[in-house]
Amino acid sequence: MLENVVSVSPDTLAGEIAKTKYEGFRFVTMTCVELDADTAEVIYHFDRDFTLKNFRLKAAKNADIPSISHIFMAAFLAENEIQDMFHLKFKGLIIDFNRTLYFDDNAQTAPLCRYTVSQIKSPEPESIQNSGDV
């Protein structure tokens, strides 16, 4: 479980991040998880002297999320990655690959969104051939 977590809204995000920078914290990374079909959660991670500070933002998938790259430039890479992997959109990115950081501009999938698990039947014993490998 994360400690030192502060919940923020899109309206309060930039102010909290700017205050964190002023306090001497450094940007570590961002993580994202899909909560349901319509909502994702973005968690911002910061460090100062081995003390972590985290901000949790719940956002609608179809809404723009404010970028923090104008406060911490290094965040542009994590934000672009989240755009590719979750098809979220960060508004105001200082360098925006427009969902082409990992994929070409024809990619329609978001690999870390809405996966399903299916059961695969194993082949019948008589259909398995012995390859002779041990």
Of 3-17, 35-49, 120-134, least confident by mean pLDDT is 120-134
Residue closest to 68 by CA, chosen among 77, 60, 59, 131 = 77
pLDDT tens digit sequence for 63-87: 999 999 999 999 999 999 898 888 8
Q: How far apart are CA 42 and CA 28, in angstroms?
A: 14
- Fold of the 5-106 domain: Beta Polymerase; domain 2 (3.30.460)
Domain boundaries, the chain: 5-106
Q: How far apart are CA 27 and CA 79, in angstroms?
A: 12
pLDDT tens digit sequence for 33-64: 998 888 999 999 999 999 999 999 999 989 99
Q: Residue 102 above 90 pLDDT?
A: no
Helix residue ranges per DSSP H, 23-116: 75-86
